[in-house]
Each structure stands twice: as C-alpha cells, then as structure tokens.
Structure 1
Amino acid sequence: MSHLARTRRLLDHAEPPPARSALDAGMVSAQPVHGHHDGRQPIPRTQDGVAEAVPPVQRMEFYREMGEADDTTIGGVLKRWWLRAELYRDPEGDRIHAVVQAGTSASAVLRRPGAQ
C-alpha cells in the first residue's frame, strides 16, 4: 500500500476534530459583559477611550502625563485617569470628589446603597 493510500485510510477512520471554541474562532472580545449600575457601558481602559471621555480642558494634561510616563508608570497613569473619567461622568461626581477630598475613603464613598 502506498504512503498516500495509508494516509487516506488513516484520515477516513480518524476522529473528527474537536469543535472550535469561540476563542479559537477569534470571536472573543475584551469588552466587559456588563455595564454600570445605571446601564451605561464603562469607559474603555485604553488611552483613546480615556482621552475621549475626559473633559476637553483636562485632555492635554492627560496626554502630557501619558507622554512623560515610562514603562513602569504608564499603567498607573492610565488607571488614575480612567477613574477620573468615570468620576467626571457620574451624576454624583462633584459630591463624591468633595467627600473624598474631605478625607473619606473613596471605597466607602463609591459603595452604592444595597451593594454587597
């Protein structure tokens, strides 16, 4: 039996390949499955997403800090500005900012009533 005939015979009796997962098929997204408590989608945690979300008067400061950051600090800069952007668009943002500036911990302020 030739090599080609043996290969065909093996393939004819081989198990079918396992089903492709969504990850294998390239259909997985890094986007969160859920949004905010009020139904809005969170701001993307990317430089472009944050830049678009911060008020225009803050945008140049954001870009300046990102530009000055090195590989050990850039993640912290992005996270800090992302949190600011989320706070800016929160209807209670001014109140939250004032309470945190007065010394209350941010986690205590941001806890929603009824949340665990």
Structure 2
Amino acid sequence: MSAQRVHGGTPDHPRVPRTIGGISGALRGSRRAQFFAELLEAQQGAELDGVLNAWWGRAMLDTDPDRDRIRAAAEAGTLPTTTMEEVLRRRRERGAQ
C-alpha cells in the first residue's frame, strides 16, 4: 500500500506553499491576522520555523475541500475515528518504525 495525496498538490507544488505569502493567502478570516501577529513576534530561527509550521498546517486545513463536511461530521459525532493503538498497529504492518 502506498500513500495517496489528498485534495491536490504534489511534494514539489503543495496546495499551500510553505511561505509567508502562501500561508496568509490560504487562511480564512481573522486567522490571517492571528498568523501575522505571531509571525511578527517570532525570532528568526527555530521560533519562526515553529510559527510557520503550525500555521501551514492550519492553512492546509482551511483549504481542504472537505473541511466543512468533516467538521459537521465531527460535531455530529459521526466522524470515523481510530485509536492510537490501531494507528501504530497499521504502521507496524506496513513496516514503518
């Protein structure tokens, strides 16, 4: 079994570029202002990288075409879930460490 890309993007051209412009362009509403506030306070290096990584993940969620459906299912309690033990078991079966 191989990993499948979800909702567009490739490793060379992700749906949301890992840049300040890419992230800010993908964020919804007031989240963009929150991103810039954290970005302006971060020091260059690991702290800035952490802000960019965290907000890139949020931007990816904001641009997910299934975002509203998934959120509604989560709120309704109908979103399929799994345990961490099940995730680890699947990884072991695929030979992941």
The TM tier, using the shorter chain, reads: 0.5 to 0.7
* 2:6 pairs with one of 32, 37, 40: 37
Q: Sort the Cα spacing of 1:82 and 1:95 in 2 relative to 1 into closer, same or farther, 3 A.
A: farther
Structure 1: segments with no counterpart, 5+ residues? 1-35, 109-115
Higher relative contact order (CA 8 A, sep 6+): 2
Q: CA deviation at 1:88?
A: 1.6
Structure with more of its chain in helix, by fraction: 2
Provide the residue aligned with 1:89 in structure 2: 63
Number of equivalences: 70
Identity of aligned residues (%): 31
Q: Sort the Cα spacing of 1:74 and 1:52 in 2 relative to 1 into closer, same or farther, 3 A.
A: same
Tell me which moved more, 59-68 or 89-98. Answer: 89-98
Q: Name which one, 1 or 2, has greater alpha-carbon Rg.
A: 1
Partners of 1:97 and 1:68 lie apart in 2 by 33
Partners of 1:65 and 1:94 lie apart in 2 by 25
Q: CA deviation at 1:37?
A: 2.5
Partners of 2:50 and 2:74 lie apart in 1 by 19
Matches within 5 A, 1:55-74: 55-71=28-44, 72-74=46-48
* 2:50 pairs with one of 76, 96, 109: 76
Partners of 1:47 and 1:76 lie apart in 2 by 13
Please report the RMSD computed on the Cα atoms of aligned residues, expressed in angstroms.
Answer: 3.3
Whether 2:19 is the aligned partner of 1:46: answer yes
Q: CA deviation at 1:97?
A: 7.6
